[in-house]
Amino acid sequence: MNLLAKVLVLADRLSEPRPAHAHCDLPCGVYDPVQARVEADSVKAIMEKYHASSDETFRARALFIKEERAELCKHHLWVLWTDYFKPAHLEKYPELHELFWKATKAAGEAKHTVDIAVADELLRHIAEIDRIFWETKKG
């Protein structure tokens, strides 16, 4: 590294950092409830296949995969809740807190059951989150 490059690196390290302002951790457009919905759809489909099969090996594998998908659904919901939604959204949509709580609880419950009603409940919560999400994107 030449002397000028060393001086520039040192100057950069010593200079005052400039604040960055953004709504999200990354430029908007990277968040979408579809990720959670895809995983929830998979959970429901796996539950249906589980009930339709009498093959114990298949059923055991289905349970393992369902638990993975439910955990991923929960992860995508938390990322959306913690990284996308901001206090202004909560002011406009005060039901968001309880809605995310119910959705993530349903995703957790889906890990421990093959009750299709739980998957349906999860999908209903995600649909409501999706509706609010797209309302926030309008303005």
- The residue to which tokens 């809740």 are assigned: 81
d(C-alpha 115, C-alpha 106), whole Å: 11
Q: Considering the domain boundaries, does residue 66 fall inside one?
A: yes
d(C-alpha 64, C-alpha 59), whole Å: 9
What does the pLDDT look like over 68-108, one tens digit per residue?
999 999 999 999 999 999 999 999 999 999 999 999 999 99
Q: Considering the domain boundaries, does residue 22 fall inside one?
A: no
CATH assignment at residue 37: 1.20.120.400
Question: String of b and e for 124-137 (b: at least 16 CB within 10 Å)?
Answer: ebbebbbebbeebe
Which structural domain, as residue segments, surrounds residue 89? 28-138
Q: Considering the domain boundaries, does residue 19 fall inside one?
A: no
Give 137's pLDDT tier (boundaries 50, 70, 90): confident
Q: Torsion angle, CA of 19/20/23/26, rounded to 10 degrees?
A: -140
Indicate the number of domains in the chain.
1
On the question of pLDDT at 28 being above 90, the answer is no
pLDDT at residue 31, as a whole number: 86
Give 116's pLDDT tier (boundaries 50, 70, 90): very high
